[in-house]
Amino acid sequence: MTQPEKMELTSMDVAAQKRQELKQALGNAFPEVFAEGSIDFDQLKRVLGEWVDPSKERFGLNWAGKAECMRVIQQPSVAALKPMRDHSINFDETDNLFIEGDNLEVLKLLQKAYFGKVKAIFIDPPYNTGNEFIYPDKYSETIETYLNYTSQTDDGGRKFSTNTEISGRYHSRWLSMMYPRLYLAKNLLREDGVIFIAIDDHEIDNLRKLCTEIYGEDNLVAHIIWQHSVQPKGYTDIFSIHHNHILCFRKSEDFSVSPLERTDKDNKAYSNPDNDPRGLWRTGDVRNALYRPNLIYEIVSPSGHVIQPPENGWRWSKSTMQEKISSGEVRFSVDGTKISRRIYLNEQDGRAPETIWFGEDVGTTREASNEIKSLFDGKAPFDTVKPIKLMERAFQIAGLKKGDICLDFFAGSGSTAHAVLNMERSANFIVVQLPEQISDATPHGKLALEMGFSSISDISRERIKRVVQKMQNQNEGKLSLSAPSDVRLGFRSFRLDRSNFSIWNQSADTFEQSGTQLDLHVDHVTADASPEDILYELLLKAGFPLTTKVQSIQIANKNVFSVHDGAMLICLESEITAELIDALAEANPLQVICLDEGFKGNDQLKANAVQTFKARAQADESEIVFRTV
């Protein structure tokens, strides 16, 4: 190879990644299925002894537009996330991210760098109750659609409308919006990761079926009911709805539920009236909840009484029961006709979370409204706010630890970010919010406009900013020793925008038709692109998180970004010299990226650069990936 590799500026090819995973998992057992670089699914079925009938009907959730969803998922993003230092706090220190943009495009852009890295997701998507859900009329969700929607470009003939019940395909549109997002979000979860999705009665049935399809029915952890309000609504002729649903799905069986901390209320039932040396205890059940024929056996008490098994059988096998009788955990009544079990308090590690979450424990919508009001001088500029204790409960169950990433890609007013900051676990958040224009059609919208906000992302950023400032003020008041030093309070703001390379900024249609685009020289950095804009585009697309440590250094008198302590060197200089190439190779990086235009069409210089990096890598028995962009 005499020319450097071209750097791919598209987001991860999700389908290719999945094909690769499938091949890795099944390739050895079924080599005939993976012939000539493609997967023969009919052959797989045949190998497994199934009759292949192409017209066979399938059980599952179907809607108009479902097939299109796969195409949407597979269409890579050519957009970029641009840093917004002015809208950030502690940009260089913090590992928290606020991203303004359409979450579909953003989720695509996050695939390379955050694949399998997110521990917990909490989302509260539009519930499809009427006007709150906006959708492009022509089915095309791309960066161009987004820029049109956010009025950053001319309309171009594309129309948007709210999804109302009379608009036809009402549920279908909602499902088509959710499917690609949930699919891409699953990729971001760690194997021991978990997603919580809040929803109301409108779409719970569809959502549960959708998640079962995407995550697998074995991965449903819980269908939770959250009591969102306590006060009666003032009418008597219909049911007063006091709950929402929260679906919890895990990525795989590697996830386990973390128990909740016990409270005095949980411990109330324990006592020790007979001075049991094992401490406080309460009576527990010895019967099985499910019918277990193998656990149906008689027990003979020391006084010779034969105790008949309960209808479903005992809780344990005969031998385990015997051990528990010997240890005193299972005891006979004085007359020897019954047995009971003692559950000891000091053997309880915590409390299993329940599937009903009461407002008094996890907050109500009224409490959520008060939380946002307390940050905005008694005013609530947003109405569908969730109480932070609700997300805290979810993240406790997820077992969040220091450095874990939590994601919310329907951020709204930023409650998830608030909850993560509030928890003393030093986890990090990534939240994504559309710059949805605020309308004066609702009292909250009117108020938000009066308060000077024009979009919902403005509100969320401002809320997180105020939470951070409040915590910083509280920390200042403490002795420095007691302040949590590892909480890097703040957040880095980014916004979704076009690529910094003009060749990628064609419409999606043109891009698709022209396979040759990838082979063209990319020598058109857009006029308004700053070095930092380009840096973050390259960082993310090379698979580095947006919070990777970056230093600006000088090499051979040229400006170079050193990424992750020199693992990757990015040089955006418009004139590349042989000296610079030698010095870059000498620095021993794993990857080097330079602007194509820096070579000024000098193919010889480029070929020499390839050889220089190759020679250096051979000498060190390593590999240096050298790419231009």
Ligand X SMILES: C[S@@+](CC[C@H](N)C(=O)[O-])C[C@H]1O[C@@H](n2cnc3c(N)ncnc32)[C@H](O)[C@@H]1O
Examine residue 493 and tell whether it contacts ligand X (CB under 6 A): no
| Minimum separation from the CB atom of position 66 to ligand X (A) | 19
- Binding segment for ligand X among 382-390, 547-555, 577-585, 600-608 (CB under 6 A)? 382-390
Q: Is 24 exposed, middle or buried (0-12, 13-18, 19+ CB in 10 A)?
A: exposed
* 3-state DSSP assignment of residue 401: coil
| Minimum separation from the CB atom of position 345 to ligand X (A) | 37
Q: Give the contacts of 275 (CB within 8 A, at least 6 positions apart).
A: none
Residue nearest to ligand X (CB): 412
If the CB atoms of residues 107 and 585 are measured against ligand X, the closer one turns out to be 107
If the CB atoms of residues 140 and 577 are measured against ligand X, the closer one turns out to be 140
Closest CA to 321 of 304, 334, 340: 340
- Which residues share a beta bridge with 154? none
| Minimum separation from the CB atom of position 455 to ligand X (A) | 9
CA distance 299 to 339: 9
CA distance 435 to 449: 14
CA distance 303 to 335: 8
- Which residues share a beta bridge with 53? none
Examine residue 124 and tell whether it contacts ligand X (CB under 6 A): yes
Candidates 432, 568, 571, 580: give the one binding ligand X (CB under 6 A). Answer: 432
If the CB atoms of residues 33 and 397 are measured against ligand X, the closer one turns out to be 397
Signed CA dihedral, 362, 365, 370, 375: sign only: positive
Q: Which of residues 19-38 bind ligand X (CB under 6 A)?
A: none
Q: Which of residues 550-589 bind ligand X (CB under 6 A)?
A: none
Q: Give the contacts of 285 (CB within 8 A, at least 6 positions apart).
A: 315, 341
| Minimum separation from the CB atom of position 389 to ligand X (A) | 12
If the CB atoms of residues 494 and 501 are measured against ligand X, the closer one turns out to be 494
Examine residue 384 and tell whether it contacts ligand X (CB under 6 A): yes
| Minimum separation from the CB atom of position 142 to ligand X (A) | 12
CA distance 407 to 405: 7
Candidates 102, 144, 203, 392: give the one binding ligand X (CB under 6 A). Answer: 102
Candidates 180, 381, 412, 598: give the one binding ligand X (CB under 6 A). Answer: 412
CA distance 383 to 42: 50
Site track 495-524 with ligand X (rule: CB under 6 A), x = hit: ------------------------------
Examine residue 420 and tell whether it contacts ligand X (CB under 6 A): no
Candidates 13, 436, 523, 532: give the one binding ligand X (CB under 6 A). Answer: 436
- Binding segment for ligand X among 242-250, 433-441, 516-524, 606-614 (CB under 6 A)? 433-441
- Binding segment for ligand X among 66-74, 280-288, 384-392, 495-503 (CB under 6 A)? 384-392
Examine residue 100 and tell whether it contacts ligand X (CB under 6 A): no
In angstroms, the Cα distances linking 377 to 363, 366, 374, 436, 451 are: 21, 16, 6, 23, 11
Count CB-CB contacts under 10 A for residue 462: 19
The answer to whether residues 412 and 124 touch, using CB atoms and an 8 Å cutoff, is yes
Examine residue 456 and tell whether it contacts ligand X (CB under 6 A): yes
Q: Give the contacts of 238 (CB within 8 A, at least 6 positions apart).
A: none
Examine residue 413 and tell whether it contacts ligand X (CB under 6 A): yes
Examine residue 386 and tell whether it contacts ligand X (CB under 6 A): yes
CA distance 228 to 231: 10
Examine residue 415 and tell whether it contacts ligand X (CB under 6 A): yes
Candidates 4, 126, 313, 589: give the one binding ligand X (CB under 6 A). Answer: 126
Strands 160-162 and 134-136, bridge-based pairing: antiparallel
CA distance 509 to 139: 13
Examine residue 103 and tell whether it contacts ligand X (CB under 6 A): yes
* 3-state DSSP assignment of residue 329: coil
Task: Please name the residue ranges forming H helices in 48-189.
Answer: 66-74, 103-114, 143-149, 170-188
Tokens of 265: 């209320």
Candidates 295, 434, 489, 576: give the one binding ligand X (CB under 6 A). Answer: 434
- Binding segment for ligand X among 4-12, 261-269, 410-418, 565-573 (CB under 6 A)? 410-418
Report how many residues bind ligand X under the rule CB under 6 A: 18
Give the residues lining the site for ligand X (CB under 6 A): 102-103, 124-126, 382, 384-386, 410, 412-413, 415, 432-434, 436, 456
